[in-house]
Chains A and B, each alone.
Chain A
Amino acid sequence: MTYILTVDDSRIMRKIMSGAIEALGFQVLEAGDGVECLAQVEAHIEEVCLVLMDWNMPNMDGLTALKRLKASEMTNTIPVMMVTTEGERGKMVEAIRAGAANYLAKPFAEEDLMTKMVECLQDRLNLV
């Protein structure tokens, strides 16, 4: 089973992203903050193929969670795409430098979300 993990403190956003994930034929995992994200990745480390990460969340923000994932040899190959209201160019650069594979600013159309997810998953899809 292959999962895409959606990390957002808004249940609505997680539901919206879940619809797009399922439309691509993947299973959904959810987390409400960075701490839950790391726990979900650890629990499903062989099965998570992409993480969709919000930036501003309680307990642990998305940038910190991204850095933690990229700092570990166990998780640094999992692509992370930021999906956030943070639209400043400086924030995008910061996330890409921290290892984000892609960046999508809210608001977004579902087609844009799916296109960006496919871009992140290209290597994996080519292998299938």
Chain B
Amino acid sequence: MMMNAAGQSTNAIDAKLVNTLMKAVMEVCGTMAGTQVTLKEVVPSLDYKPTGDISGVIGISGDYGEGMLTLSFTEPMAALLVGRLLGMPPEEICSEDMCDGIGELVNIVSGRAKTSLSEDSGTLYRLSLPSIIKGPGHEITGRPKNCPFLFLVFEAEGHSFVLQVTFRYF
């Protein structure tokens, strides 16, 4: 395993970061959307190619590392979660609200990761503004070369959604 000067692995994603993200997803969905979410599996394979209808993407960077977080949902799952956030039935969620809601979800999850990374390193990490990708069955493949990655697959009420974590320490 390769390590940087701070003793952090440069070819694997830190388990604490993964744990923070997993808890953040569960807490955001549970606390704000009242939706119980469970982690179904963790997939560290390039052969795994999850697709979604709507994805929220945020970049994270600091003095000691950089990465990207992508939350991908099917449209029914996104409508369910955003509907719960607003206290509305999923069928009443318009496209604009769905995009805004998924952007806010990925923003809050990334905020948790940023806090954890900043407090661990004693330096401030920064987030990009969230970007939203919308289109039936799209695949997110914009992963920097040689950058460690993981897919966290979550399940809620018969639907699955995926958090793709790409992060490397310098």
Please report the total number of A residues contacting B with Cβ < 8 Å.
Answer: 21
Smallest CB-CB separation from B101: which chain A residue?
A12
Q: Which residues of A contact B32 (CB under 8 A)?
A: 16, 106-109
Please report the total number of B residues contacting A with Cβ < 8 Å.
Answer: 26
Q: Which residues of B contact A58 (CB under 8 A)?
A: 129
Task: Give A85 to B27 CA distance when docked, in angstroms.
Answer: 13
A-B interface pairs (CB < 8 A), number: 56
Task: Give A86 to B28 CA distance when docked, in angstroms.
Answer: 15
The verdict on A88 contacting B85 (CB below 8 Å), with A10-B104, A106-B111, A108-B31 known, is: no
Within 8 Å of chain A (Cβ to Cβ): is B110?
Answer: yes
Within 8 Å of chain B (Cβ to Cβ): is A15?
Answer: yes
Distance to closest chain A CB from B22 (angstroms): 14
Is B28 a contact of A107 with CB atoms below 8 Å? Answer: yes
Q: Which residues of A contact B28 (CB under 8 A)?
A: 107
Is B107 a contact of A12 with CB atoms below 8 Å? Answer: no
Q: Which residues of A contact B111 (CB under 8 A)?
A: 84-87, 105-106
Smallest CB-CB separation from B119: which chain A residue?
A88
Within 8 Å of chain A (Cβ to Cβ): is B65?
Answer: no
Closest 5 CB pairs of A and B: A85-B111, A87-B115, A107-B28, A10-B104, A12-B101
